Amino acid sequence: MKNKKTEKLISKDYLTIGLYSVVEFVVMMVMSMATLPILAWFYPYATAFVLFFTCPIYLLMAFKVGKRGTLLLFGAINGLFYAIMGSVYILPITLLGGLIGEVILAKTNGYRKLGAQTVVFTIYNLLYGFSNYIILAISADYYFSVMKNSGYTENHLEYLTNPFWIMVSTAALIVSICLGCLFGYKLLNKHFVKAGVIKST
């Protein structure tokens, strides 16, 4: 898609980012709950499965706004949702992911480039995914108690600490984001450009 000059975020952009961030979070929660009954067998791929469906939402938001600060604000909103739900430790991780992504997008002028957005969204979600291991390293007892209270069993927790399944989960996440962003990009061009939601390619 054509790059337009990056400007500062305005009120309409804040509303757009807020709306799409809420939609993405709701879809992620619904999809996560949908996989909960089969997590004992599906856990290494659960996050990847959910991300495939949330990538198009993020990509639509990123291309629609196309300005510096979009990913950072997206990360801040998502982190705040988790903080309100009790997982305060996720907020600094989503902010860090947003900051790293913003630096990459600024250096590459990649606000409306599929490759750049795919890379930064992958980095963002890898950091977000590994936030579990950060709190696990700080206080394993606390982490396992929270996970068990959330409905996770010993089988689920075994995946979290097994190096092989950690690598499988990471690989599945990267592949899923690449496919999800590619699918989202095709949707943008096929439907949203024609509808005038996003400027033509």
CA separation for the pair 5, 152 (Å, rounded): 47
Give 37's DSSP letter.
G
Residue 151, pLDDT above cutoff 80? no
Residue type, 197: V
- Distance CA(108)–CA(183), nearest Å, equals 22
Share of the chain above pLDDT 90, in %: 45
- d(C-alpha 105, C-alpha 73), whole Å: 14
Task: Say if CB 60 and CB 20 are below 8 A apart.
Answer: yes
Q: What is the pLDDT of residues 60-107, one digit of tens each?
A: 999 999 999 999 999 999 999 988 987 787 899 999 999 999 999 999
pLDDT value at residue 187: 84
Of 7-16, 150-159, 187-196, highest mean pLDDT? 7-16
Task: Tell me the whole-structure pTM to 2 decimals.
Answer: 0.82
Burial letters for 1-36: b for 16+ Cβ neighbours within 10 Å, e otherwise? Answer: beeeebeeeeeebeebbeebbeebbeebeebeeeee
Residue 135 or 91, more confident: 91
Is residue 200 within 8 A of residue 188, CB to CB? The reply is no
Q: What is the pLDDT of residues 163-199, one digit of tens each?
A: 888 888 889 889 999 999 999 888 888 766 665 666 6
Question: Quick one: pLDDT at residue 143?
Answer: 67
